[in-house]
Amino acid sequence: MYELNHILNNTYYFSGPTKIGLYRLNDTDVCIIDTGIEERVGKRILKTINENGWSLKFIINTHAHADHVGGNAYIQGETGCKIFANTIEACFTEHPFLNSCFVYGAYSPKELRKKFMLAQKSIVTPIADAKLPEGFEIIDLSGHSSQMIGVRTPDDVLFLADSIVSREIIEKYTVTYIFNVEQYIATLERVKKMSARLFVPAHADVCEDISALAEHNIKVTNGIAETILSMCEKPISFENLLKKVFEKYSLRLDHEQYALIGGTVKSYLTYLSDKELLENRFEDGVLLFFKV
């Protein structure tokens, strides 16, 4: 776990549940893309960087989810390096409790104040203020989170963060976290047409062609939207709808999943309402959703 793999020319990645990118800026300096889920991962990455005699110049965070920023605090504490991210993501990374409050909708209960929701805080600079070395391209991948970005290295290797997930993850979970379904699908449509020497999704294999996997992700997302719409044939409350979603996709119910999948189902409800396929009304003190 967290072995350094060479991809192409100066571009590398650390393997693991969430891939971490590394780019050699010159013979001695490197930058990394994301830092893994916790301090332990940050230590491992920095150890490898030091063993190679490299110096870490900066970190780019694709978005503020804990499995992408969890090593930030340790690495920044040891090296003093700058961390760059989009402004809203930077805000969540500087104030990690916002992540758990965001998915919960209020100050979160203790069950959500855990590692997966609550990274250690780090200091982040808006990426718009970064003077990145020539050849780097920052790409908008919003949808999975509000301002997620991808990074194209000067080697034309494109890090796609969580804009796309593997067939294995879809097979296992089907429903994965989405903040804004409309943006998520629009981003996938753009990703489908992107070209690069190699693509590195955080949660799928490195590949030369991303179009088939992007199309599969779009199909699955549209399928979930259709399924949720069909569950609203008769007026249904959010809680009863969520119960049906958990049953339909055989999902494990715990506080984290309840918050993350619950938030995702709400995003689908917004998406379907914006498309005027769904309406809602209050009845006997309960908010009900129903197909138009």
> Which stretch, 26-34, 62-70, 185-193, 217-225, contacts Zn ion (CB under 5 A)?
62-70
Nearer to Zn ion, 76 or 142 (CB): 142
Cβ at position 193, least distance to Zn ion in Å = 22
Integer Cα distance of 269 and 100 in angstroms: 21
Whole-number minimum distance, CB 210 to Zn ion, in Å? Answer: 18
Angle between helices 181-193 and 255-274 (to 10 degrees): 80
Q: Which residue is nearest to Zn ion (CB)?
A: 65
Q: DSSP code of 109?
A: P
Give the sheet arrangement for strand 286-291, strand by strand: 236-237, 286-291, 278-283
* Angular region, 285: left φ>0, alpha ψ -120 to 50, beta rest: left
Q: How far is the CB of 191 from Zn ion (least distance, A)?
A: 15
Contact 213, 167 (CB under 8 A): yes
Q: Are strands 278-283 and 286-291 parallel, antiparallel or unpaired?
A: antiparallel
Say how far residue 252 (Cα) sits from the centre of its chain: 20
Minimum distance, C-beta of residue 102 to Zn ion, in the bound complex (Å): 12
In this complex, which beta carbon is closest to Zn ion, that of residue 97 or of residue 290?
97
CA distances to 171, 250, 251, 261, 289 from 247, in Å: 15, 5, 7, 12, 19
149 contacts 179 by C-beta, under 8 angstroms: no
> CA separation (Å) from 105 to 98, 109, 117, 251, 262?
10, 11, 14, 22, 11
Q: Report, in Å, the least distance between residue 128 CB and Zn ion.
A: 21
Pick the piece of the chain touching Zn ion (CB under 5 A) from 45-53, 59-67, 231-239, 252-260: 59-67
Query: Quick one: which of 30, 39, 64, 65 contacts Zn ion (CB under 5 A)?
Result: 65
Cα–Cα–Cα angle for 207, 212, 216, nearest 5°? 120
Shortest spacing between CB 264 and Zn ion, in angstroms: 12
Q: Please identify, among the stretches 26-34, 46-54, 63-71, 244-252, the one whose residues bind Zn ion according to the rule CB under 5 A.
A: 63-71
C-alpha 28/C-alpha 240 separation (Å) is 57
94 vs 156, beta carbon nearer Zn ion: 94
Please identify, using beta-carbon distances, which residue of 44 and 65 lies nearer to Zn ion: 65
Residue closer to Zn ion, measured from CB, 102 or 289: 102
According to CB under 5 A, which one of 38, 39, 89, 162 is a site residue for Zn ion? 162
Q: Which stretch binds Zn ion (CB under 5 A): 8-16, 22-30, 64-72, 254-262?
A: 64-72
Identity of the residue, 89 or 162, whose beta carbon is nearer to Zn ion in the bound complex: 162
Q: Please, which residue, 92 or 289, has the CB nearer to Zn ion?
A: 92
In whole angstroms, the minimum distance from the beta carbon of 186 to Zn ion comes to 17
Q: Does 44 bind Zn ion (CB under 5 A)?
A: no
Q: Where are the beta strands (DSSP E) in the chain?
A: 4-8, 11-14, 20-24, 29-33, 55-60, 82-85, 125-126, 137-140, 149-152, 157-165, 198-203, 236-237, 278-283, 286-291
Residues that bind Zn ion (CB under 5 A): 65, 162
